[in-house]
Structure 1
């Protein structure tokens, strides 16, 4: 499927906008005092934080959250591997004639290169999901560490497969101002999602699948995980594939 691939074109565009907003806040504070200046300052900071924490917000660069199609097709994306679940998930996908993109963590990929090559050999996609998956602090990484996470993940996966990934999934979906520059330089486009069940945390299969099904629609990007502590990710994916088949959905991968 032909999907717009949009790496950030102007990775530092946020900086003049931020400076301008704070100059306006300072002017309003000087002109009308704190009763207006303080709320404006809090609002401007809130908008900046919203762009960091909200997964599909494009404040710091483009993010793809659904496919441009009216067909009953979805893009399955599987985060956090490779893991002990990867082989079982590949067999499930094969059994249903389904395809998915695996957003892999660089260090985990380097530890299990055979699984990474098997993903590619079976016709699935590979995406960059950072080098070390620092989920508690990815949102607050500075420019040097952010670059190391993105470039390190890219290098690890390219070394194993011979091809650099084209898609990036931010850890926990967070993206601060320092994400765009390394994505621009690596030619990576950021991918969000439009359907999720919180399967990385919730081990209740019916509850997880119910949340995903509520958001299923033509062009949905479905967020899934592997290797969760509850150990039920393969079972969840098995049932999701059955339900997709029953509802007439097919899985697609973005070109190429």
Structure 2
């Protein structure tokens, strides 16, 4: 993939949703005043849903730009939640299949295992920001200060370990609330989603995960994978996906972030 093919999109207007919020609530208030609660209440709930639902849609652009596919004939493998006990074995698998991947790392885990961060980079792979502590249950509800701390903490940790800060960011479980974009703009980060997912971060059977991912494997796909999950199947899943890529003549390469 060349720099020209890469969608490198740092948020330009991180608060662009605010006018929509003001206008929508003004219209709700007007409807409530003119038509009563029978209209006002449903409109209030619907207007709130319009701002809540995008938080849970990984490829929604409502709150921040997102890259969900890449141009060209290659596939972008992305591996979340490391470094972990799986990392070295994952690197060996990638070497065996001559594939490259971006590891979206958790800042605290990277600080605890700096040698693994260095090894990922030494073998020619990329790293990305995946929050500092991975607060999975409450990430969607973090306020502006807490969200900024999560993104900045990981950015600082990875920057110190790698020598330069990452250019890519992935939200925890793909959730992006109204306060993500401001931090991305501050650190020059591009948000990355996915187009092929097998739900391998939870209890699963490897063959089912590989089958779901394979259904969406095509040139330009961004594949979401995980490492270090409690179910212990991540290595088998990653190998299965690599086999699928090889069988289809697809190559996993890194995109190049362009300013």
Shared fold (TM-score greater than 0.5)? yes
- C-alpha RMSD of the superposition: 1.0
Pair 1:61-2:64 in alignment: yes
- 1:71-125 per-position Cα deviation (integer Å, ceiling 9, x unaligned): 2x21100000000000000000001110000000000000000100110111111
2:79 aligns to what SS in structure 1?
strand
- Counterpart of 1:159 in structure 2 is 160
2:24 is aligned with 1:27? no
1:175 and 2:176 are equivalent in the alignment: yes
Note the C-alpha offset of 1:154.
Answer: 0.1
In structure 2, distance between residues paired with 1:3 and 1:27: 45
TM-score by length of 1: 0.97
- Identify the residue that residue 121 of structure 1 maps to in structure 2: 122
Per the alignment, residue 211 of structure 2 pairs with 210
- Per the TM alignment, residue 202 of structure 1 is displaced from its structure 2 partner at its CA by 3.0
| Partner-residue secondary structure (3-state), 2:75 | strand
In structure 2, the partner of 1:81 is 82
Partner of 1:147: 148
**Structure 1 residue ranges (4+ consecutive) displaced by more than 4 angstroms after TM superposition:** none
Matched, 1:14 2:51: no
Q: Gapped runs of 5+ residues in structure 2?
A: none
TM-score norm. by structure 2 comes to: 0.96
Aligned to 1:105: 106
Q: Which moved more, 1:224-233 or 1:35-44?
A: 35-44
Q: Is the 8 A contact 1:202 1:208 kept in 2?
A: no
Residue pairs, 1:33-48, within 5 angstroms: 33-48=36-51
Q: Is the 8 A contact 1:56 1:193 kept in 2?
A: yes
Contact 1:128/1:150 (8 A) holds in 2? yes
What is the rounded CA distance, in whole Å, between the counterparts of 1:42 and 1:192 in structure 2? 28
Q: Which residue of 1 aligns with 2:236?
A: 235
Per-residue CA deviations over 1:152-184 (Å, capped at 9, x if unaligned) read 000000000001100100000001111111110
User: What is the deviation of 1:14?
Assistant: 1.3
Partner of 1:193: 194
What SS does structure 1 have at the residue aligned with 2:161?
Answer: helix
Q: Which runs of 5+ in 1 are unaligned?
A: none
**Per-residue deviation, 1:68:** 2.5
